[in-house]
A = this chain, B = another copy of it.
Amino acid sequence: MINDPRSLSPKEFFEKGHNYFLPHISIDCVIFGFHDNQLKVLLLEWKDTHRWCLPGGFVLKGEDINDAADNTLRMRTGLQKIILHQFHTFGDPNRDRGTHGHNTPPHVKGPSWIMERFITIGYWALVEFSKVTPTPDQFSASCQWWEINSIPTLILDHNVIVKKALESLRLQLNDYPVGFNLLPPKFTMPELQSLYETILGETLDRRNFQKKMIALDIITRLNERKQGGAHKAPYLYKFDKKKYQNALKKGISFGI
- Whether A119 pairs with B174 at a CB distance below 8 angstroms is no
Distance of A212 Cα from B175 Cα, bound (Å): 15
* A3 CB → nearest B CB, Å: 19
Q: What is the interface of chain A, defined by CB distance below 8 A to chain B?
A: 22-25, 59, 61-66, 68, 86, 88-89, 91-93, 117, 119, 121, 170-171, 173-175, 196, 200, 202, 204-205, 208-209, 212, 251-256
When distances are taken between beta carbons in the complex, the residues of chain B under 8 Å from A253 are 174, 200
Residues of B within 8 A of A24 (CB): 22-25
CB distance from A235 to the nearest CB of B (A): 22
Chain B residues lying within 8 Å of A251, measured Cβ to Cβ, are 170-171, 174
Q: With the chains together, A88 CA to B93 CA distance in Å?
A: 19
Q: Are A64 and B89 in contact (CB under 8 A)?
A: no
Tell me, in angstroms, the Cα distance from A174 to B89 when the chains sit together: 22
Specify which of B22, B63, B175, B256 is in contact with A171 (CB 8 Å cutoff).
Answer: B175
- CB contacts (< 8 Å) of A61 on chain B: these are 93, 117
The 10 closest A-B pairs by CB, nearest first: A65-B91, A89-B89, A204-B255, A62-B93, A174-B174, A171-B175, A174-B175, A89-B121, A22-B24, A173-B254
Complex alpha-carbon distance, A209 and B256, angstroms? 9
